[in-house]
Structure 1
């Protein structure tokens, strides 16, 4: 299918197609507190995208959010780091070059992110992605051979087996109704979306991505075709390292990315986190305020335990690593939920009423996190211009994906402007280098990339000798233990329960059976339907903010129902499987 006829990607999450960007856009608030709970103190645990979005919208609605963060940073507020996986590093003030250790790119369909970015003056520009403008060249290196392509159509002409594999994949998507779901979502025909998505979910939730690629009722590819499609990194939009994921997870990913260009933040995506923190907004009482001011300029330290009262009106008590214990009207917990088993103790103050019900614990304990590793060079100039390395390299060798990025003229004398992402990998590919020191990783990636691009090999080695190297393995980070969650076959019931936690029993019955109606709310990427995207992490923060406001007696502004207000609408209620 040509780009001109492809249905557009959408920011709506097909399992719960609420328009979060419209809900908080153009100055609209999520609700207004009654006088008895105005200025209520709410603990927000985690200063990543979801936590900052929740805190910011709670501030706008009249609460007083207090933000806790475990990650340390000498330059951060109170010695703590804003942003979570929005983690940008500029090594010197004179550099224009920025290394993104976490969130690298964002689909243009991410309206909520773009909306906040506009509010906070965060510049977003087209990203150099594979087979797409403004990338000069994508080199596919597979089985020791190179296929340089400026576009997808170029690759078709260079590799007949790829043409066959990708064509079958596109036909399979059309046959199962995926393209029509894209059109229905874009047209906001939510009744049609729900009907078609139910059919797809019921049919394929137990299928892995690999099974869909191979099965005659899916794409019907040979093993070699499936491997080639995975290595090429297009169409399925993920690597063959994701073959074990649920096919439904892949479809969710495609709905928000296929047919969309990709963006990046030239000044670093950490600017978005800084915007949430420092931007002054107007509260319901007409006063201007910021999260920074509400928190006296400093993030609170890591949380070690949360005591949850069974009576929601009594709130929670948060215990932090500095020995302080403070009571709050409610708490929003946004870090990786794996930390609830390993780093943060959540306790009920009543022996027979748990803080989290058994069904929700089951979902938390069954989460699947994926490893992810990145290694980057910061160089003084874009030495790759005009060579085969000018763009993206996709390979079945150790680096898997490499990108060259020019951030423009340096900000000061002696500043550096170029970044070579030598490797960006997931799962087993990330584990291959997890024990390797930075200098070992550098040597290994330079070895493979020099072999793929011989005309620039000497320059690559020379610049590597003089460059600064940054690397990260997210699975080794104490407060992350993996970059993000992805669903495997059979995970839909867990995913639904995690997403539904913010609803408590506000619709008349517990949205998650057995879940107590206390004042603790889970949010974060783990609770979203399509993880790994900042836009959906932001939306999860808005869900939790809605739950807190409802708990405190707020009602929606006229004509602006929130996500929980539409929960019982059959076009929105998350589906359960037979």
Structure 2
């Protein structure tokens, strides 16, 4: 048996289409008939998925018109590009960037890295927990005691109960066949992957992460061992604040991160949004253009009403908060989908009908978003070098996770180069400070970090008194309901239906039973299989772009089928979650 740890791979296990290869080089999502070139298409939301959809539609010959609700005085026309790609540089002279949303990206994210390379973005290793060689030290602080480690296995010699917990966790992943799924994904062994992943879905779709940790059919840990593992973490964000999410979410998280290396963009992840916006491409007619040029320098403001014709040939009328309205051949909606219940009035032009079918509405209404909070200090120098603070702190106290980042020499005189993320929290931990102001947050987090790191407590307190701070609680942002969704057990059917929406009835029958085949396409993180990872959100934009092109009479380029073109291939068609499409349990249980 091959015991070599399999590499991380961002091929989506539920729909293993290679999006990066699909648009590599000069390849396009598809081609339009001559009569459809220049067709206007509305793209609502200028986050990663919306920008990717608009960019690829532009490359294929459409005229994508962007709408964005987020405001920023420094953004084009006062609009902020990027969505969860939200970087803040407090002073132009700073090299330091505060990442308020997406902040770390696995090297497995090939689609993201292709776009970043196109736009001239540079990557530096991210100081992830237990990243030996990159992170000087990860301090695990639990029950008032500190355990410094370079690798997570260093904790085995320092804490016996943790050693037992971590060992049983790894043994459980092997026993249920997860590591073989990793190998199948990495090897593109799609037939074997489908079979093995179906078994994990069948056995664990109804399980929470916590149940897997505790149940004898999983890791079989005691309550205390589960607590220890959940505090130390088993990967980025797989902490005890995620105990209630579906175990399938954890499997997907590990597939795209375990065995890989995390990176951060030197320019800040908002640079990716700026790249999509400004980068010039050659249209099918040979004309050089950009989203910035097509949109006359600025996205249009927030959308208030979408009027969707039942006949897809009649398109969608988009009404925006400036009182203007325009009919488009198609519309791609990418914000968090709960906004369709609260901020955007979604109407059909046919009385008594809805632009979404009952199953899609059920999925939209059932989405589970996660509160998320971050607080950071921007400093002239990385004063923590050589101290126990120099790296990552994981704790059961209020901050939960703290990170240190050095962006290198400042851009200008008086500029700053260092960022101390005092706290990065999720779920109930984020809610503890949701109503606290910036000053209180800084004071509370510094208080706890000073107790964890007494060797640097005096300096930490002094720098915190003079440094500029920034914070965010994503659940308090007006156009968000949390940083992203994470499914709970029983919600897998919702995710499958949302992902399938772009297929409409292009195979001869609706991919989602009862779904009307109109010109509205849903995309964004909510429609991806693995939430929170930018690569998958970008891929959702490519799905929608494929759907729009097909609606307009387009087709794929020769030798380059798109995601919808392989939909009916049994190696790709996503599993359904009503038992009809999942192989029966083998006599020996999971393999």
Q: TM-score range by the shorter chain?
A: over 0.9
- 1:552 paired residue number: 552
| TM-superposed deviation, 1:137 | 0.4
- 1:103 paired residue number: 102
Matched, 1:279 2:279: yes
| TM-superposed deviation, 1:288 | 1.0
- 2:126 paired residue number: 127
Matched, 1:527 2:513: no
- 1:66 paired residue number: 65
The CA deviation string for residues 284-306 of structure 1, in whole angstroms up to 9 with x for no partner, is 11111100001011111000010
- 2:461 paired residue number: 461
- 1:445 paired residue number: 445
CA distance in 1, matches of 2:24, 2:236: 32
* Structure 1 gap ranges (5+): none
CA distance in 2, matches of 1:364, 1:425: 25
| TM-superposed deviation, 1:353 | 3.1
Aligned-partner SS, 1:277 = helix
- 1:166 paired residue number: 166
- 2:290 paired residue number: 290
Kept in 2, the 8 Å contact 1:229–1:235? The answer is no
- 1:434 paired residue number: 434
The CA deviation string for residues 304-363 of structure 1, in whole angstroms up to 9 with x for no partner, is 010000111110000000000001010000000010001011100001432111110000
Alignment of 1:36-47 (within 5 A): 36-47=35-46
1:324 to 1:237, Cα distance in 2 relative to 1, 3 A: closer
- 2:47 paired residue number: 48
* Structure 2 gap ranges (5+): 580-591
Kept in 2, the 8 Å contact 1:40–1:64? The answer is yes
Kept in 2, the 8 Å contact 1:169–1:235? The answer is no
Alignment of 1:250-399 (within 5 A): 250-399=250-399
Aligned-partner SS, 1:337 = coil
CA distance in 2, matches of 1:400, 1:165: 20
CA distance in 1, matches of 2:564, 2:150: 45
CA distance in 1, matches of 2:267, 2:162: 37
Aligned-partner SS, 1:399 = coil
Kept in 2, the 8 Å contact 1:29–1:60? The answer is yes
| TM-superposed deviation, 1:153 | 2.6
**Number of matched residues?**
577
The CA deviation string for residues 339-396 of structure 1, in whole angstroms up to 9 with x for no partner, is 0001011100001432111110000000000000000000111000000000000000
- 1:116 paired residue number: 115
CA RMSD of aligned residues (A): 1.2
CA distance in 2, matches of 1:36, 1:356: 29
The CA deviation string for residues 385-415 of structure 1, in whole angstroms up to 9 with x for no partner, is 0000000000000000000111111111111
The CA deviation string for residues 180-226 of structure 1, in whole angstroms up to 9 with x for no partner, is 00001111010000000111101100011100000001000000000
CA distance in 1, matches of 2:193, 2:229: 28
CA distance in 1, matches of 2:4, 2:264: 25
Kept in 2, the 8 Å contact 1:382–1:418? The answer is yes
Aligned-partner SS, 2:206 = coil
Aligned-partner SS, 1:156 = helix
Aligned-partner SS, 1:566 = coil
CA distance in 1, matches of 2:150, 2:211: 30
The CA deviation string for residues 459-487 of structure 1, in whole angstroms up to 9 with x for no partner, is 00111111001000000011011110001
CA distance in 2, matches of 1:401, 1:69: 32
Alignment of 1:399-548 (within 5 A): 399-548=399-548
| TM-superposed deviation, 1:125 | 1.4
1:442 to 1:576, Cα distance in 2 relative to 1, 3 A: same
| TM-superposed deviation, 1:27 | 1.1
| TM-superposed deviation, 1:266 | 1.5
TM-score w.r.t. structure 2 length? Answer: 0.97
Kept in 1, the 8 Å contact 2:501–2:512? The answer is yes
CA distance in 2, matches of 1:358, 1:482: 25
| TM-superposed deviation, 1:236 | 8.1
More off after superposition, 427-436 vs 283-292: 283-292
Aligned-partner SS, 2:564 = helix
